Amino acid sequence: MKASPTTLIRAHYGTLVDIRDNRHRWQDHALFEGLPFVLASGVGAAEIKLPAGASAGLLTVAGLLSAFLFGTMLQVADRAMSWADDPPPPSAERSSHAEFLEGIAANAGYASLVSIATAAMFVVATVVTGPALIVFSALGLGLALHVALMLLLVMTNVFALIQGRLIRGRTRRNPAPVTPLEQRRAHGK
């Protein structure tokens, strides 16, 4: 199927690895999936029903986030096309930078996809009543937390890259490794 999101989802989860041994950490899954599940379960157990106005407001936020995150992917695509048109000389630094951009695109694309699903939950929550409202309120809020955690991940990674590049610019020397590839190479892996 041409519009299948599986490649994007796999690429995103491929970025959630420990840089020391390239393995998935249970702590990451507990945070990124477990915490939203706990929130959704708690909202459902407490039988919280979002008012239609709150659902509409959250729908707007989720839609805007999806568009913003898609824009982030387009910016990374522009950078990748620029590299393809005028490739820089091969080096470990360039490979690391390319891997970082690929990870940012995967995380942003995945978060955009989840934002769309979140918006869909809030659309339904604006029109249903009774038990269905409880279910869609819980699903929407759980997914909204998942998106917020993905945004935090992207912001943290981008800030680490910015710090490393600023240190390099000020001191004219390579800073401590900041991307997963740089860190694996620094540890001899």
**146-174: burial string, b at 16+ Cβ within 10 Å, e else:** bbebbbebbeebeeebeebeeeeeeeeee
pLDDT for the residue numbered 174: 59
pLDDT value at 135 more than 80: yes
Closest listed residue to residue 184, CA positions, set 8, 6, 23, 2: 23
CA distances from 6 to 12, 48, 106, 158 (A): 10, 32, 11, 24
pLDDT for the residue numbered 140: 96
Most confident of 14-23, 88-97, 111-120: 111-120
* Two structure tokens written together for 157: 């990674």
State the chain's mean pLDDT as an integer: 85
Kind plus residue range of the DSSP H or E element containing 171: helix 131-171
Closest listed residue to residue 179, CA positions, set 102, 83, 112, 110: 102
The beta-carbon contacts of 71-75 under 8 Å, at least 24 apart in sequence, are 72/104, 72/105, 72/108, 72/112, 72/154, 73/105, 73/108, 73/109, 73/112
pLDDT for 31-63, tens place per residue? 999 999 999 999 999 999 999 999 999 999 999
> Among 29-38, 60-69, 146-155, 170-179, which is the least confidently predicted range?
170-179
